[in-house]
């Protein structure tokens, strides 16, 4: 029987997701760059990805996911007292996407902040939400992970353009007597951040010159090496610290970066691949949106049940990792 090692008063009370209508398949990419459907799928596990329309941006992804949350659970949002949006592709650096969500849904008075932790962003935002609720100062927090990565993708670079897609997921987290957040883990290796970046103002990272066109740049080999060693160690540390075993986890929900990474992590940790939820086949790598989109696919297939224990694990740009063990309360 799983013990609850982390005090928590945060429960998940609603969930929603959104992806744009346009689909970009591997076959489509064959017409754009020197690649093949077989090559992409064997190396990444991706078959297709969703692409935001020209007039759609990150805020639209957020709005779509939150509207879906309202439709599915009939919740009231006017009394939300904090909004957190995890994204690396905001419409604007300010106003924040969280402020845009506040305005769109008529939330009267709340805190609003964007969380920039790349592919670890959604899990990091959930951890922050739990801390705010534990403080006693807040009672109802809306957490969104949203991206329009395709607008920051260089479609002449076949090593990155095959990866990324757009979408969003949202969770409503509320203070309850019995919480859902059981344990967490974090790690960062900022000295290697130049292996995965998107430029802004500076021409270098720690003296390492970078491309400054605002597009995503990734050293796939180095990021892969970091992920397949760091994530298993993080899972092991989380388990040992809280007296848990892989059998205590009903569903492992890693960031959907690359199926080869996920398979390696499962092999090294003993977590069965059949108890792993991903969204990469359908949606590609959606960074901060990939974990909630994987949950959404599983909910639609009636795989996740109330009371199930989920291990969420985000990892990527930074290089940053964030893990959260939670009990599903919907």
Catalytic residues: 119, 255, 285
Give the integer Cα–Cα distance in Å for 52 and 60.
9
Count CB-CB contacts under 10 A for residue 208: 10
- How crowded is the C-beta side of 76, counted as CA atoms within 13 Å? 3
Q: How far apart are the first and last CA of the chain?
A: 20
Q: Which three-class secondary structure state does DSSP give residue 6?
A: coil
How far is residue 257 from each of residues 5, 119, 218, 244, 320, measured CA to CA in Å? 29, 8, 12, 26, 14
Give the integer Cα–Cα distance in Å for 41 and 48.
9
The answer to whether the beta carbons of residues 323 and 238 sit under 8 Å apart is yes
Nearest to 173 by CA among 111, 129, 122, 136: 129
Q: Which three-class secondary structure state does DSSP give residue 117?
A: coil
Cα dihedral 127/128/129/134 (nearest 10) = 90
Give the integer Cα–Cα distance in Å for 323 and 241.
13
């Amino acid at each position: 029987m799983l013990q609850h090692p982390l005090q928590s008063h945060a429960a998940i009370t609603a969930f929603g997701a959104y992806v744009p209508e346009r689909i970009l398949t591997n076959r489509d990419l064959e017409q754009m760059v020197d690649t093949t459907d077989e090559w992409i799928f064997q190396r990444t596990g991706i078959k297709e990805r969703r692409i935001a329309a020209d007039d759609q941006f990150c805020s639209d992804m957020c709005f779509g996911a939150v509207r879906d949350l309202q439709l599915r659970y009939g919740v009231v949002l006017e009394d939300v007292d904090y909004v957190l949006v995890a994204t690396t592709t905001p419409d604007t650096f300010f106003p924040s996407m969280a402020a845009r969500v506040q305005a769109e849904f008529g939330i009267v008075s709340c805190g609003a902040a964007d969380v920039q932790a790349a592919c670890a962003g959604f899990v990091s935002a959930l951890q922050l939400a739990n801390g705010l609720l534990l403080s006693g100062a807040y009672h109802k927090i809306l957490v969104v992970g949203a991206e329009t990565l395709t607008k920051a993708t260089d479609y002449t670079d076949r090593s990155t353009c095959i990866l990324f897609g757009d979408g969003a997921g949202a969770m409503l987290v509320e203070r309850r007597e019995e919480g859902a957040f059981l344990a967490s883990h974090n790690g960062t290796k900022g000295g290697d951040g130049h292996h995965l970046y998107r430029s802004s103002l500076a021409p270098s990272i720690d003296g390492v010159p970078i491309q400054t066109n605002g597009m995503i740049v990734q050293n796939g080999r180095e990021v892969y090496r970091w992920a397949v060693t760091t994530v298993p160690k993080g899972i092991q540390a989380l388990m040992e610290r809280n007296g848990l075993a892989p059998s205590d986890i009903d569903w492992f929900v890693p960031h959907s970066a690359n199926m080869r990474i996920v398979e390696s992590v499962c092999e090294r940790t003993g977590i069965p691949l059949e108890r792993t939820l991903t969204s990469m086949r359908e949606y590609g790598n959606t960074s901060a949106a990939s974990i909630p989109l994987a949950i959404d696919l599983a909910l639609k297939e009636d795989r996740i049940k109330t009371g199930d224990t989920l291990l969420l694990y985000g990892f990527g740009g930074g290089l940053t990792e964030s893990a959260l063990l939670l009990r599903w309360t919907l």
